[in-house]
């Protein structure tokens, strides 16, 4: 028998929207069937901490998120016409969102099934020329190593792409595959191949845009992946850099800072 979550979801989601948009539409019921990826080698995770919240632009809501349970959750909503996003989160798993649409006071989609996948930690070395030059050594270059998780990005590089746990290795959807996914596309920008048998330290200059074959094409993050990268960014030709994926793991690394979307 499926379990159901508390009716407190109605209070949290409805009150947030009522104050923000003066919602007056009739209550609707949305069914969310929640499951979790099961991996023997994944670290323990407390599934009872799963929550749902109404967010705008991924920003943390003012209200406390409502609890979810594994299995079927009956969620009561009071929403104005438009498209809305419900965010599902649980520590140790990559977050997801589901879309609900209301037209003429009626909920157009009243159910969804969501599987939360264990968080993948992608350890990346990087170097980026902050002056927009192609040189990848010297005082103008910022270098470091970070562990990315779902919906996070490296300094500077994150203006064009982020890590996304996707359904396929080309990106899109939600799943178990960590992908370096572009959210900005521009000509002669993106990733470019490095010479065969290259060593990260020996990549001292990024190729010219007209010669490097840069493409804004998302790619699966796998250990050993190495690429040049030209970032268009928010300020035009922002700069050149390089990346090396050192590891992809289910366990939070202890020797490197981990970035999270919360």
Domains of the chain, CATH where assigned = 8-116 (2.60.40.1120), 121-249 (no CATH)
* Greater model confidence, 61 or 245: 245
Confidence band of 187 (pLDDT split at 50, 70, 90): confident
pTM of structure: 0.89
Neighbours of 73 (CB within 10 A): 24
Check residue 106 and give its pLDDT: 87
pLDDT tens digits, residue range 136-154? 999 999 999 999 999 999 9
Q: pLDDT tens digits for 91-141? A: 999 999 999 999 888 889 889 999 999 999 999 999 999 999 999 999 999
Cβ atoms within 10 Å of 58's Cβ, excluding its own: 12
User: What DSSP string describes 124-167?
Assistant: EEEEEETTS-SB-SSTTEEEEEEEE-TTB--TTGGGTEEEEEES
Could you give the CA distance from residue 214 to residue 205 in angstroms, rounded to a whole number?
14
User: What is the strand order of the sheet 96-103 is part of?
Assistant: 66-67, 51-54, 82-89, 96-103, 106-107
DSSP structural state of residue 178: E
**What DSSP state is assigned to residue 36?**
E
Confidence of residue 54 (pLDDT cuts 50, 70, 90): confident
Rounded CA-CA distance 65/260 in Å is 18
Rounded Cα–Cα distance for residues 172 and 186 (Å): 19
Check: CB of residue 165 under 8 Å from CB of residue 94.
Answer: yes
């Amino acid at each position: 028998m499926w379990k159901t979550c508390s009716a407190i979801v109605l209070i949290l989601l409805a009150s947030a929207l009522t104050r923000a948009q003066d919602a007056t539409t009739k209550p609707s019921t949305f069914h969310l069937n929640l499951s979790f990826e099961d991996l023997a080698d994944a670290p323990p995770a407390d599934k009872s901490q799963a929550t749902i919240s109404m967010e705008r632009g991924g920003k943390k809501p003012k209200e406390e998120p409502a609890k979810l349970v594994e299995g079927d959750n009956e969620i009561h909503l009071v929403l104005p016409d438009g498209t809305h996003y419900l965010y599902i989160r649980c520590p140790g798993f990559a977050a997801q969102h589901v879309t609900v649409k209301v037209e003429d006071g009626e909920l157009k989609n009243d159910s969804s099934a969501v599987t939360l996948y264990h968080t993948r930690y992608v350890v990346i070395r990087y170097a980026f020329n902050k002056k927009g030059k192609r040189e990848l050594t010297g005082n103008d270059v910022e270098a470091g190593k970070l562990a990315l998780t779902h919906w996070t990005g490296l300094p500077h590089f994150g203006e064009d792409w982020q890590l996304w746990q996707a359904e396929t290795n080309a990106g899109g959807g939600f799943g178990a595959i960590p992908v370096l996914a572009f959210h900005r596309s521009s000509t002669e920008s993106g990733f470019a191949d490095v010479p065969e048998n290259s060593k990260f330290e020996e990549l001292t200059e990024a190729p010219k845009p007209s010669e490097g074959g840069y493409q804004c094409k998302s790619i699966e993050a796998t250990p050993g992946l190495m690429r040049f990268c030209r970032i268009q960014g928010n300020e035009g030709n922002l700069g050149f850099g390089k990346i090396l994926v050192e590891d992809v793991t289910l366990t939070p690394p202890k020797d490197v800072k981990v970035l999270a979307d919360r």
